[in-house]
Chain A
Amino acid sequence: MSAAKTLNLTLKIWRQKNGNAKGSLETYPLNDISPDSSFLEMLDILNGGLIEKGESPVTFDHDCREGICGSCSLYINGEPHGPAKLVTTCQLHMRSFQDGETIYIEPFRAKAFPVIKDLMVDRSAFDRIQHAGGYISVNTSGNTQDANSIPINKENADEAFYSAACIGCGACVAACKNASASLFVAAKVSQYALLPQGQVEAKDRVLNMVKQAEKEGFGPCSNTGACEVECPKGISIENIARMNREFLSAAISK
């Protein structure tokens, strides 16, 4: 077994000192990268070199590095989480790139996701949308009913589970030409709308979460479908139709 050939790359990375500074794309040559390393490991190697030279390392978000936390982001060669489908940036490997390739690395761009530093953006708008209704009220008095004692049909349980797979990464917003948060909000709305526990607050939930998304400055959805193609968790835009349905009926009856 011969070792795979390493990659020599040219990186074009967005550098920005802080939220108010004017940023720019900077060019960094990077050699001898193993195709087996992950994209974030490649950035770690770049940063190691920058630190050795006394330069400031590139700031980027990451945590679990196994595709479950939703921390990592990055707009790589024109797509959120890079060219591979159904993976987060931390699950992307350098074998997806060619030797000699120029790779553009930009932050997720949206008015509602302001840049904090370099490639790190503030996604707390998602938290505020979640606070606006992405929960169920449960009395935790000590004799809480076991959720499993409530019968739920298999189809709804599965659908709710698929919707709940959203990790809140924001790739849907980043990909959307309108920087719309529809797929994220729809996944959160659907996850509860499909379950009996979610019914009590269903109307307020959809109205408040949609309102909060607008308030945060995400754009209106025009159904381009870019979000579902780029979502690392394969959340379907069927959720958006469900959210629209829930929203219309709540707006009319409330």
Chain B
Amino acid sequence: MALSGLFLLIFLLQHFVINFLSVISPDTFNEVSHFMGTNPFIQFLMQPVLMFGVILHLGMGIVIELQNRNARPIKYAFNNAKANSSWMSRNMIITGIMVMLFLGLHFYDFWVPEIKTKFIDGDMSGKLAGESGFRYFTELQHKFVDPARIGIYCLAFIFLALHLLHGFQSSFQSVGFKNRKFAPTIQLLGNIYAVMIPLGFIFIALFHFINSSH
């Protein structure tokens, strides 16, 4: 759980950096997107590893949740859980599944069309017919026009933030890399990551929404 979680944390940082390029430099964004989309190492090694990581994380999350439910068959009539633990820590399965649902939509938006263009239509050029520059930035802008879509994306990032507010520091605890000395630093880094990264994604989504609707 912790290892797949840590792996996803690194992936997400990478994903964020590339997306952020779309805000500061469309050209660089295009170059990097084309590289990521056509490089065999990324496409045929890292992408399957990532998918495996997500499925493993989801699968283990569900298995652990079921084991946990099984460990207390009779619930308390009166339980004051908020006296000793955060909402985030107790609802990882809910925030996690919300993120998973979003991932379904996100795949439908980006991954499915990409696979269709590249491997069904066989167009590996990364360009639109009759245009000289790469297509990625233009396509990105076209996808951020529907306000409902933007709303769902923003909501998903809020769930992601809640997930990571517990998950980040939890993964360090799980692999044993936490003691009195490191704990405050890990907690702080975790809070920064869990707030800034999803907020950054929300910013990017709104940025393209505002720019593409004018």
Residues of A that sit less than 8 Å from B by CB = 12, 14, 25, 75, 77-79, 83, 104, 106, 109-112, 175, 177-180, 217-226, 229-230, 236-238, 240-248
Identify 18 new A-B residue pairs, CB closer than 8 A, beyond the known A222-B64, A226-B84, A229-B85.
A14-B77, A79-B80, A83-B80, A83-B83, A106-B77, A180-B68, A219-B71, A220-B68, A223-B166, A223-B169, A224-B86, A224-B166, A225-B85, A238-B178, A241-B173, A243-B176, A244-B173, A245-B175
Q: How far is the CA of A242 from the CA of B183 in the complex (A)?
A: 13
The reply to whether the CB of B174 lies closer than 8 angstroms to some CB of chain A is yes
The reply to whether the CB of B211 lies closer than 8 angstroms to some CB of chain A is no
Check A112 against B71 for contact (C-beta < 8 Å): yes
Contacting residue for B77 out of A25, A223, A237, A245, CB 8 A: A25
14 residue pairs bridging A and B, Cβ less than 8 Å apart: A14-B77, A75-B79, A77-B78, A78-B76, A78-B79, A111-B72, A219-B68, A219-B72, A220-B67, A222-B92, A223-B89, A225-B89, A238-B183, A247-B176
Contacting residue for B178 out of A78, A222, A241, CB 8 A: A241
Check B75 against A226 for contact (C-beta < 8 Å): no
Check B176 against A248 for contact (C-beta < 8 Å): yes
Check B180 against A238 for contact (C-beta < 8 Å): yes
Check B64 against A241 for contact (C-beta < 8 Å): no
* Closest CB pairs A-B (n = 3): A78-B80, A245-B176, A219-B71
**Size category, B interface:** 20 to 34
Contacting residue for A226 out of B81, B169, B174, CB 8 A: B81
Q: Tell me, rounded to whole Å, the shortest Cβ–Cβ distance linking A189 to chain B.
A: 12
Q: Tell me, rounded to whole Å, the shortest Cβ–Cβ distance linking A161 to chain B.
A: 15
The reply to whether the CB of B179 lies closer than 8 angstroms to some CB of chain A is yes
Neighbouring B residues of A106 by C-beta, 8 Å: 76-78
Q: How far is the CA of A223 from the CA of B169 in the complex (A)?
A: 9
Check B179 against A241 for contact (C-beta < 8 Å): yes
Check A179 against B68 for contact (C-beta < 8 Å): yes
Neighbouring A residues of B169 by C-beta, 8 Å: 223
Check A229 against B173 for contact (C-beta < 8 Å): no
Known: A179-B68, A179-B72, A244-B175. A223 touches B170 (CB 8 A): yes
- The interface bits of chain B over 85-109 (1 if a CB of A lies within 8 angstroms of the residue's CB, else 0) are 1100110100000000000000000
The reply to whether the CB of B73 lies closer than 8 angstroms to some CB of chain A is yes
Q: How far is the CA of A220 from the CA of B67 in the complex (A)?
A: 7
Check A242 against B176 for contact (C-beta < 8 Å): yes
Neighbouring A residues of B84 by C-beta, 8 Å: 79, 175, 224-226, 229-230
Neighbouring A residues of B132 by C-beta, 8 Å: none
Check A78 against B81 for contact (C-beta < 8 Å): yes
The reply to whether the CB of B177 lies closer than 8 angstroms to some CB of chain A is yes
Q: How far is the CA of A232 from the CA of B32 in the complex (A)?
A: 55
Q: Tell me, rounded to whole Å, the shortest Cβ–Cβ distance linking A34 to chain B.
A: 25
Known: A223-B170, A229-B84. A111 touches B64 (CB 8 A): no
